[in-house]
């Protein structure tokens, strides 16, 4: 085998193939490691972001229940503060406190001299009853209803007073050393019928439940969670002493303080910091409405651990692959070099036009063996071909002219086809883009439908609560109506008794002759009149004056019989006025108060029916939402299928266009070749004569 520049074919194969394989394996290993690093980092980021969103949504849902409870209590107080006693409020507020483990206590805080539902608190400056849990009992506390505490200047009261619409606002949490818990106050304003602010309702919450939820968050092996207030104060962290001391993250002595500015610069994102244990990556999000920050921290070493394992494994595989490939290449290159040398010698004779040599002995079926057989075939065929070339040179010349003409025609046709395929490709690309936009819109609709479904389920729960309140209103109204009727009947019977007692006055005229007897009778009538005046209340004031005058006459035995008779006439007139007033009062109770209570009962009944109708409507909406969601899923699948088909068609049309261009170039080459053949055919005879034939 001859060598050129000191190297044979075997050495060249080894020196050219081995470095290429080595570089290729290194590139593949590096690319695999890089893609694995990106994929794992992306997966970890997505997983932590999903956990972040899930937990912020969970905290928001718990706080939303508290805000709703405060608003419901505010509405109830605004409608009943003129007629409802404190004991009734205790029952209602106790139900709210016991309904949620998150709620510690609740209170009402009225503006000065506003509350008129209980006579004991008329004209009071501070009316602020507060109820809280004490084991299984609800305790009523008035220690905050005084000038020393002055709830008018407390944060929760000022927050509620600043609201112009019915809503609830939660204060930043704080650690209460007395109870040993982290707590916050949710307050909602109370407006009267004219929209004026008359106080607020507070619902105090314990954040122990949320702290336990934060502690249960699993962020890898060494990761952890932090919950911060709007100013960066710890609500939850691994070190409970920082929560008890109200430490802010920006003032934390650990390196995590370096991320404070980044965490509070946006609603969500990620950042990183370093400490003595290495680098940490922090993902943060915001709890809606309260703007608390949830921070999930995970060591970068733990994130990169799978990537490092992949890189070590890939390097081991790389070394083994390089050794094996090098050995295989050396062995194959030696065999190829020997076979190529035999072929080279045979081809050298043919290149010199010597067709007198023996054909190559073929010992393999690979490409070199096939090339050897091809050379043998060429050896056999070319002998006769060369003889015929001279005779066919004229025909080749004519064929070349015809081929050139056909090639020109094909060139024009392929140019037209290429233009059409470009248009098809552009149209399919536009179709794919439009389909992707439709798919994105369908996904947005599907997400909106999901949110509507959640709102519908929440509405169903509210309808159940409304139905319960309607039933309670109906029952309370029925009870109050029965009490009003019973009281009216009792007062009617008492009035009849009083009227019958008034007949004693007529007997006084017959006893005018005996002043001593008259005095005794008058004393008796004075006592009866005083009792009846006390029973009549406000309407008995005039009658009390008359009773007082009768008592004076009883002590004045020197008065004349005429004066006594004149006084008797006044007493009779007073009894007549008292009877008319009492009769009017009973008529008002029966004709006005009782129908009003009946109206309350009917209103409660209609309230319940409306709630039931609203519940049925919500159920139908929920069913419709489910149907829409199913339809949107089908639309999304169909759009995805269309998008895939459009992309495949665009790719296929691009391939067809490339093929047309390639064929067009080939036709142009054929045209050139045909032109060249015209010149070459004249030289064929001379060339053929140079060959040696048997």
Q: How far apart are CA 605 and CA 470, in angstroms?
A: 7
Percent of the chain past pLDDT 70, that is, above it, reads 55
Q: How far apart are CA 269 and CA 626, in angstroms?
A: 33
Partners of 233 in the β-ladder: 248
Q: How far apart are CA 103 and CA 209, in angstroms?
A: 10
Element (H, E) at 191: strand 181-191
Instruction: Measure Cα distances from 468 to 23, 103, 461, 462, 463 in Å.
Output: 77, 21, 11, 10, 9
Among left, alpha and beta (phi > 0; psi -120 to 50; other), residue 124 is: beta
Partners of 294 in the β-ladder: 227, 285
The DSSP result for 206-274, as a single string, is ETHHHHHHHHT---TTT-EEEEE-TTSBEEE-S-HHHHHTT-BGGG-SSGGGGGHHHHTTSSSEEEEEE
197-229 pLDDT, tens digit per residue, is 999 999 999 888 788 888 888 777 888 899 999
582-629 pLDDT, tens digit per residue, is 676 667 656 765 676 576 567 667 656 766 775 676 677 667 667 766
Element (H, E) at 485: helix 367-501
**CA 554 to the chain's CA centroid:** 85
Nearest Cα to 80, choosing from 105, 53, 115, 106? 115
For residue 487, the model assigns a pLDDT of 72
Q: Give me the mean pLDDT over the 298-315 stretch.
A: 80
Q: How far apart are CA 477 and CA 248, in angstroms?
A: 53
For residue 546, the model assigns a pLDDT of 62
Please tell me which of 370-384, 604-618, 624-638 the model is most confident about, judged by mean pLDDT.
Answer: 370-384
Q: Give me the mean pLDDT over the 426-436 stretch.
A: 62
Placement of tokens 């699993």 in the chain: 218
Element (H, E) at 137: strand 137-141
Q: What's 590's DSSP letter?
A: I
Q: What's 4's DSSP letter?
A: B
Percent of the chain past pLDDT 90, that is, above it, reads 22
Which residue ranges make up each domain of the chain?
A: 19-314, 477-625
CATH of domain 19-314: 3.30.450.20
Give the range among 114-118, 161-165, 308-312, 553-557 with minimum mean pLDDT. Answer: 553-557
Q: Where are the alpha helices (DSSP H) in 288-366?
A: 300-351
Helix axes 9-80, 208-215, angle to 10 degrees: 170
Q: Strand 224-228's sheet: what is its strand order?
A: 234-236, 224-228, 292-299, 278-287, 269-275
Instruction: Measure Cα distances from 386 to 389, 390, 392, 684, 687 in Å.
Output: 5, 7, 10, 9, 9
Q: How far apart are CA 208 and CA 205, in angstroms?
A: 9
Q: Give me the mean pLDDT over the 661-671 stretch.
A: 65
């Amino acid at each position: 085998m001859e060598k050129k520049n000191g190297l044979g074919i075997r050495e060249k194969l080894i020196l050219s193939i081995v470095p290429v394989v080595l570089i290729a394996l290194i590139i593949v290993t590096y690319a695999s490691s890089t893609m694995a690093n990106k994929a794992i980092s992306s997966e970890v980021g997505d997983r932590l972001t999903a956990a972040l969103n899930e937990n912020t949504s969970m905290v928001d849902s718990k706080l939303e229940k508290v805000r709703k409870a405060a608003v419901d209590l505010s509405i109830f107080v605004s409608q009943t503060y003129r007629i409802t006693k404190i004991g009734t409020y205790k029952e209602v507020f106790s139900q709210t406190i016991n309904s949620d483990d998150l709620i510690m206590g609740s209170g009402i805080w009225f503006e000065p001299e506003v509350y008129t539902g209980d006579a004991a608190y008329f004209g009071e400056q501070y009316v602020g009853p507060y109820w809280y849990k004490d084991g299984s009992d609800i305790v009523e506390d008035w220690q905050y209803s005084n000038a020393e505490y002055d709830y008018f200047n407390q944060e929760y009261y000022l927050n509620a007073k600043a609201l112009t619409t019915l809503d609830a606002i939660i204060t930043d949490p704080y650690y209460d050393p007395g109870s040993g818990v982290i707590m916050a106050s949710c307050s909602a304003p109370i407006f009267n019928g004219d929209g004026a602010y008359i106080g607020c309702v507070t619902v105090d919450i314990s954040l122990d439940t949320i702290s336990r939820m934060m502690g249960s968050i699993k962020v890898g092996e060494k990761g952890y969670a932090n919950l911060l207030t709007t100013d960066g104060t710890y609500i939850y962290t691994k070190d409970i002493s920082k929560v008890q001391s109200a430490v802010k993250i920006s003032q934390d002595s650990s390196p995590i303080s370096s991320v404070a500015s980044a965490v509070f610069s946006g609603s969500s994102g990620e950042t990183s910091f370093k400490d003595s244990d290495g680098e940490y990556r922090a993902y943060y999000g915001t709890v809606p409405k309260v703007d608390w920050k949830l921070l999930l921290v995970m060591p970068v070493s733990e994130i990169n651990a799978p990537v490092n394992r992949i890189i070590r494994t890939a390097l081991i595989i790389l070394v083994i692959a390089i050794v094996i490939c090098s050995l295989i290449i050396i062995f194959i290159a030696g065999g190829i070099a020997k076979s190529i040398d035999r072929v080279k010698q045979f081809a050298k004779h043919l290149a010199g036009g010597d067709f007198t040599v023996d054909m190559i002995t073929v010992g393999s079926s690979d490409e070199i063996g096939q090339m050897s057989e091809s050379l043998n075939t060429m050896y056999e065929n070319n002998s006769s071909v060369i003889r015929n070339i001279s005779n066919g040179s004229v025909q080749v010349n004519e064929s070349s002219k015809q081929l050139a003409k056909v090639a020109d025609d094909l060139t024009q046709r392929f140019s037209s086809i290429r233009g059409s395929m470009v248009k098809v490709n552009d149209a399919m690309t536009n179709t794919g883009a439009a389909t992707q936009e439709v798919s994105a819109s369908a996904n947005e609709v599907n997400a909106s439908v999901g949110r509507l479904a959640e709102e519908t389920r929440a509405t169903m729960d509210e309808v159940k609560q409304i139905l319960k309140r309607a039933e309670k209103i109906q029952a309370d109204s029925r009870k109050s109506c029965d009490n009003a009727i019973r009281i009216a009947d009792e007062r009617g019977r008492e009035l009849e008794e009083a009227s019958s007692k008034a007949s004693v006055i007529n007997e006084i005229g017959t006893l005018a002759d005996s002043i001593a007897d008259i005095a005794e009778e008058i004393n008796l009538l004075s006592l009866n009149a005083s009792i009846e005046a006390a029973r009549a209340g406000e309407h008995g004031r005039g009658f009390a004056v008359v009773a007082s005058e009768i008592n004076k006459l009883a002590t004045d035995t020197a008065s004349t019989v005429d004066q006594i008779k004149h006084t008797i006439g006044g007493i009779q007139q007073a009894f007549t006025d008292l009877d008319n007033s009492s009769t009017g009062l009973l008529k008002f109770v029966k004709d006005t108060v009782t129908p009003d209570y009946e109206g309350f009962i009917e209103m409660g009944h209609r309230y319940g029916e409306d709630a039931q109708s609203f519940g049925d409507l919500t159920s139908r909406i929920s069913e419709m939402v489910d149907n829409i969601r199913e339809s949107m899923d089908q639309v999304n699948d169909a759009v995805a299928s269309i998008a895939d088909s459009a992309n495949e068609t665009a790719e296929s049309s691009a391939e067809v266009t490339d093929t047309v261009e390639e064929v067009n170039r080939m036709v142009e080459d054929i045209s050139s070749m045909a032109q060249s053949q015209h010149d070459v055919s004249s030289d064929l005879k001379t060339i053929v004569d140079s060959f040696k034939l048997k």
